[in-house]
Amino acid sequence: MYKAILIDDESLARQLLRSLLKPYPEVEVVAECADGFDGFKAIQEHAPDLIFLDIQMPRLNGFEMLELLDDAPSVIFTTAFDTYAMKAFESNAVDYLLKPIVKDRFDKAVQKWLQHAGTKDNALPVNTLTEQNIYEGYQHRLVVKDNGLIRIIPAQEIYYIEANDDYIKIVTKDGSFLKKSTLSHIEQILDPQHFVRVHRSYVVPVTQLLRIEPYEKDSHIAVLQCGAKALVSKNGMAKLKALLGW
């Protein structure tokens, strides 16, 4: 018996998925969730083999929820996203179902998953999906786990972001928070008009810049409004000059 969770803010969509799963007695729906918060908790509690995941949901969307998971189950997306994103899903998720979902397309997705169920052949590598630039527009917040809780950090509250081994350290007025991600990913999802990758180890918001001081050959130090300092490489300095018109 395989365990599945339905995560979609539309109750009718969840009902349809349940109905379409009836011909598959080997797949048991162990939970239904209306947003990413409840979906995250249900995944921690039930450790499902498969989730059906919507993307555009209130409170916490599907992408943000995936970023919080250390070990994700297989994922079949159920989404109304534009076709430009679908090409990215094809190589990273088990499958995607474009709403309105039809039975034949649903059956193909489930059968595709069942062929490899119990193996890692088509499980979703979370970092692979979330490292793709497939968000709709730039993000205005980051989501992190903080002592077992989920914390949403608005972009305007970020002082700077620093590389920290396999994590990034997000520094705010409320302290610093670790998130399993890369600066390359952060550079993709935050608005480049407001956040600049000034060094391989630092992303800083332009509003935090107080002054820039010479440091070593071809490098500088950015002094931030919060009192911290960030290294600025030659390439980072060129980005700042282009953005700020220096």
Q: CB under 8 Å to 236, separation ≥6 — which residues? A: 196, 197, 198, 199, 202
105 in a structural domain: yes
Instruction: Give the residue from 104, 130, 156 where a domain finishes.
Output: 130
164 & 237 share domain: yes
160 & 121 share domain: no
* CATH number of the domain residue 86 falls in: 3.40.50.2300
Q: What pTM does this model have?
A: 0.81
Does pLDDT of 185 surpass 80? Answer: yes
Q: What string of DSSP letters covers 88-111?
A: HHHTTSSEEEESSP-HHHHHHHHH
pLDDT one-digit tens code per residue, 49-89: 999 999 889 889 888 898 898 888 999 988 887 654 554 45
174 & 224 share domain: yes
pLDDT one-digit tens code per residue, 139-152: 899 999 998 889 99
161 & 125 share domain: no
Q: CB under 8 Å to 220, separation ≥6 — which residues? A: 212, 213, 214, 231, 232, 237
Instruction: Give the residue from 130, 153, 181 where a domain finishes.
Output: 130
Question: How many residues make up the chain in this entry?
Answer: 246
Range of the domain at 186: 141-244
Instruction: Give the residue from 71, 99, 130 where a domain finishes.
Output: 130
* CATH number of the domain residue 188 falls in: 2.40.50.1020
Number of domains observed in the structure of the chain: 2
